Amino acid sequence: MQGSPHKKKALVLDTAAFLAALQLLMYGIELYTPRSVVEEVKDFESVQRFQLSESIGRVKIEDPKHSFVSKAVEVARRHGVLERLSKTDLDVLALALQLSYQGYDVVVLTDDYVLQKILIELGLGFRPVKTRGVEKKRSEE
């Protein structure tokens, strides 16, 4: 998926992105994550890095609206993968849908293959964090 030059870009970070400290390495783009991702970040170093990134305004914690969570559940059910996605995965998907609806060019940073496949089907971008990612088209290829 190629980004539109007229849209604001936003990255939605899942837990793997925080464990890799990517929020401290990216500038010039808005970074979002749902609270459920923050709750999964437990090791001391990752928590410290997250707290630093939040204190300097690098990451916006935004929980998706209920209507977008419902949409994410509906999409996952339609693709037959609802049982393979956690609540956090659904929140990440819902936040990506919500930001896209708000006019952002969204890319999700995730290593979750099931989530990547759904993002492809929805025409939303993704970038793997530490894995190769699914073998179909990715964002900005």
Give the CATH fold of the 9-127 domain: Rossmann fold (3.40.50)
CB 85 within 8 A of CB 115: yes
> What are the residue ranges spanned by the domains of the chain?
9-127
Q: What is the pLDDT of residues 24-55, one digit of tens each?
A: 556 778 999 999 988 888 888 888 888 888 88
pLDDT of residue 5: 57
Q: Model's pTM, two decimal places?
A: 0.85
Beta strands 125-127 and 105-109 are parallel
SS3 content of the chain, % helix, strand, coil (to 5): 50, 15, 40
